[in-house]
Chains A and B, each alone.
Chain A
Amino acid sequence: MRRIVAIVRNVWKYYSISGRMIAVLKNVNLHVYRGEIVCIHGPSGAGKTTLLKILAGLERPDQGEVIVDGYNLTLLDDDGLASLRTNVVSYIPQDYGLIDDLTVYENIEIPLMIVGLGGEERRSRIHGLLEYMGLLGRENVKVKHLSGGEKQRVAIARALAVTPSLLLADEPTANLDWENAKKVLEMILRISKDFETSIVIVSHDPRVLEYAHRKYLMYDGVLKEAS
């Protein structure tokens, strides 16, 4: 029987825009199995990123329930959500979530420092990740000198450093040409197989849907499973 890693149940989220409450997510339901890739496709402003942030514990739903790897996010306080991001969920924002002035090595090192790994263990873990992502030899290059594709791979390496159960990628191909985008998506496919990591991708690019095991469509805050 396949194990469910994430459940989103009857989630509503409202934002206050110039004094009016606008529903960004309307009764959203979603489940993600272990090792599968789920793609949420929809136009800009449909609520995709908000849903991803709720799954990452960066925002809270106004109604409903979110359970990730057995943790009910709606019951956790801020420190609990932070712990969840340390061990269970990794989120890759659209702008990669990297520090331009630090090197590739230093960027990947930060989550491992927070987890509390020792220097030697960190070095071997980062070396393994760089090898896996095809970035060996680039570890001492500052992120600002990398291409878009390389930055995305570093962002994935940073997210994978703590071996999360759930990896969330916000528009991972938005800033890339299709050749580089394909490489990144193939890398994501390989990660889901090798690490059995569940991956949720949100994208407005329909070509990304080919790489997903299950597809959802999101429009105006409503999520529907696509055939």
Chain B
Amino acid sequence: MYRELALKSVKLSVSGRGMVYVCLYALASSMYIIFSPLSIVYINMVVLSLLAIVTSILSDKKTLHQYLSVLILSGMRKRSIFFCIRTYISVRIIPLALVYTICFSYLNLYLVAIVTDIIFVLFTLYSAYPIYKVFK
């Protein structure tokens, strides 16, 4: 069940319009980081990337709302719904995490890359509950 629902979440996340926004943002911010390698730029871009993810989710809020409604109506447990939301967000984060990890590694900023990835993981884990509450 989990594998199939994870695939369904991935499909909805990838096919949403917000995914295009995230990819474009990742591309733009990587160029900015490479051409302006300043610590204030890194921090700004990481914070803005979290906002970009929130924006991408809001741009697909109708689909996400419908998805959560169907899961609730079909009798899915709250814990499993959180799993689906986390999968959905993780897919949105992957392009950003990938681009930032490559950029920071290219600039020999491995510690910054690790911290950024930890921030993304924490964001994925802790944003499921508020998203569930908002869309429910």
Contacts and interface: CB of A to CB of B under 8 A. Distances in A.
* Physical interaction between A and B: yes
Interface of A: 56, 58, 78-79, 82-87, 90-91, 93, 97-102, 106-107, 110-111, 113-114, 116, 158, 162
Contacts of B12: 99, 101-102
Interface in B1-57: 1, 4-5, 8, 12, 15-16
23 contacts: A56-B73, A79-B78, A82-B75, A82-B76, A82-B77, A85-B72, A85-B74, A91-B73, A93-B69, A97-B73, A99-B66, A100-B66, A101-B63, A107-B70, A110-B5, A110-B8, A110-B71, A111-B75, A113-B1, A114-B74, A114-B76, A116-B1, A158-B70
Contacts of B69: 93, 97
Nearest to B63: A101
B62 interface: yes
Contacts of A84: 75
Interface string B92-108: 00000000000000000
A158 B70 CA distance: 9
A99 B64 CA distance: 9
A100 B63 contact: yes
Given A106-B8, A110-B8, A113-B4, A98 B70 contact: yes
A47 B36 CA distance: 60
Contacts of B15: 101
B67 interface: yes
A132 to B, nearest CB: 19
B127 to A, nearest CB: 21
Contacts, number: 70
A78 B67 CA distance: 19
B73 A83 contact: no
Contacts of B76: 82, 86, 114
Contacts of B73: 56, 58, 85, 90-91, 93, 97
Nearest to B3: A113
B135 to A, nearest CB: 13
A99 B63 contact: yes
A30 B8 CA distance: 39
Nearest first, the 3 closest Cβ-Cβ pairs linking A and B are: A86-B75, A85-B75, A111-B74
A158 B74 CA distance: 9
B70 A110 contact: yes
Contacts of B75: 82-87, 111, 114
B131 to A, nearest CB: 16
Contact of A98 (B16, B66, B72, B77): B66
A101 B78 CA distance: 23
A47 B5 CA distance: 34
Nearest to B4: A113
Given A91-B73, A116-B1, A78 B78 contact: yes
Contacts of B71: 110, 114
B11 to A, nearest CB: 8
A216 to B, nearest CB: 23
B67 A99 contact: yes
Nearest to B80: A114
B95 to A, nearest CB: 20
